[in-house]
Each structure stands twice: as C-alpha cells, then as structure tokens.
Amino acid sequence: MHIRCTLLLTSVFLLFSRADAYFGYGVVRCLFTSKDDVVYLAQLYFNKVLQEQEKKNEQKCRTNVPLVFDVLSRPVEPTVKLRLAESPESEHPGMLMCSAYNFYPKQIKLTWLRDGKEATSNVTSTDELPNGNWLYQIHSYLEIIPKPGENISCMVEHASLMEPKFYDWDPTSEAEKNKIAIGVAGLLLGLVFVLGGAVFYKRNTTSRILVPTS
C-alpha cells in the first residue's frame, strides 16, 4: 500500500509598512511514504511567493512516523445505509442507494445482487470520496422497476470485514415508514383543526354579553 502523509506545522507573521501591509508565512512539513522514506521540508513565503526552501532528513520527523503508521494500519469498518432514492428517469420509477461511510483504507467494493445474482446494468457508483479525516465514503445506485417477491441486496467487501456483508432492501419497511409518516401528519393536522376550533369557540362564548330581561 502506497501512502503519502504530511505532518504540518505552520507559523504566520505580518509585516507592515506605511503604505501597504505585507503578508508572510512559513510552513514546516514532514513528508513520508514509508518508515524509511522521511523528508523534512521548510518553506518561507512572502506575499504568496516562495522565497526560501530547505529540504533534508530530520530526526524529529522520524520520531512521529511510527505513531502515524500505527493509526493508518488499522482498518475502519464502514457504516452502510441502504435506502430508496428518487430517480430522475421516468422509465425507472425506483432508485436504490447503497452508501458506505467512514471507512479506511480507501479500497472498497459495493456489489448489487438481485435474487442472489450480480446486477451489472442500471448501476452507477461514485469514486471513494475523502472526508478529510483519513476516512472515506462511497455511494452506489441501482435503478429498478420493482418486482413482487424480488430480493435485492448490497454486498460490501472491505479490509475491515472478515467476510462480505449483505444489506437487504426491505420494500415493506419503506412502505410502512411512509404510512406512519402520513398517519402522523394527518393526526397533527387534525389536532390543529380541533385546537383552532376550540379557541374560536371559547373566544365567541367569552365575548357574549348577557342582557337582563324584565
């Protein structure tokens, strides 16, 4: 596995003159691709222009390399979500989305299965997208025309898993969730009308003036 890592330390300073303000900053980096290939790089910039650069082997960089490689050598298992998404294509009323989040290393494979057989048509996937914290995410899409009784699943293969994991799509649960959401919305709407009617009735009754009769 080829890894290029950077330990970064930056110092910033400002220089001022009577007419203008000048900006300068220095960057110190420890670059390494292995425990033996370590380079210390110091750069000095003035108004975004590189003025000075020093590149050499540095023992201080080497002391941090084992710790970094120890962290990077531990695979992180992905969090996988399988859900129904909207499809822009009219001939494909359904689009399933299989997403894997926060995994390491970068290499991962998502495979769609329909009744146990690999689906290769109507499948699109993104590249592994970096999160900016050494972890990655990826998304795979399957355009479908739902068939009664069909079993659709997303198979995930990754270094953090002893064997492939399968995530089955349950269309019944999707439908039940929609029914529950519609039911809750209807209940809330009914409560709004009931409370509104009660407030209206109370205002009308309290505003009435009783006129005594002789």
How many degrees, rounded to 5, is the angle at CA 208 between CA 203 and CA 210? Answer: 155
Instruction: Give phi and psi for 91, each to the nearest 5.
Output: -75, -10
Q: Give the residue among 164, 155, 166, 157 at the shortest CA–CA distance from 108.
A: 157
**Do residues 64 and 30 make contact, with C-beta atoms less than 8 angstroms apart?**
yes
Does residue 109 register a pLDDT over 90? yes
Angle 91-92-97 from CA coordinates, rounded to 5° = 160
Q: Which of 130, 140, 136 is nearest to 83 (CA)?
A: 140
Q: What is the pLDDT of residue 119?
A: 92
Q: Is the dihedral of CA 72, 5, 67, 65 positive or negative?
A: positive
Average pLDDT over residues 80-84: 91
Q: What angle do CA 38, 39, 40 make, to 5 degrees?
A: 130
pLDDT over 60 at 68, yes or no = yes
Termini Cα distance of the chain: 103
Q: Is the pLDDT of residue 88 over 60?
A: no
Cα 6 to Cα 8: distance, rounded to the nearest angstrom? 6
Using the predicted structure, report yes or no on whether residue 202 has a pLDDT greater than 70: no
Contacts of 68 (CB under 8 A, 6+ apart): 5, 7, 32
pLDDT in tens, 140-187: 999 988 778 889 999 999 999 999 999 998 877 655 455 444 544 555
Provide the token pair at 204.
């009308």
Q: Could you identify the residue written with the tokens 């330990």?
A: 7
pLDDT tens digits for 113-127? 999 999 988 899 999
pLDDT at 191 over 80: no
Q: Which domains does the chain have, with CATH numbers?
A: 5-72 (no CATH), 79-170 (2.60.40.10)
The yes-or-no verdict on residue 48 having pLDDT over 90 is: no
CA-to-CA distance for 120 and 114, rounded, in angstroms?
Answer: 10
- pLDDT above 60 (res 9): no
When pLDDT is averaged across residues 27-35 and rounded to a whole number, the result is: 70
Strands of the sheet containing 38-46, edge to edge, are: 5-16, 21-32, 38-46, 49-56
- Report the percent of the chain where pLDDT is more than 90: 29
Entry pTM? 0.54
Give the model's confidence band at 77: pLDDT under 50 very low, under 70 low, under 90 confident, else very high: very high
Cα 156-162-168 angle, rounded to 5 deg: 35
* Listed range (15-19, 65-69, 78-82, 160-164) with the worst mean pLDDT: 15-19
pLDDT of 133 > 70? The answer is yes
Nearest in space to 13 (alpha carbons), one of 27, 29, 26: 26
Rg, Å, the chain Cα set:
31
Give the residue, 188 or 79, on which the prediction is more confident. 79
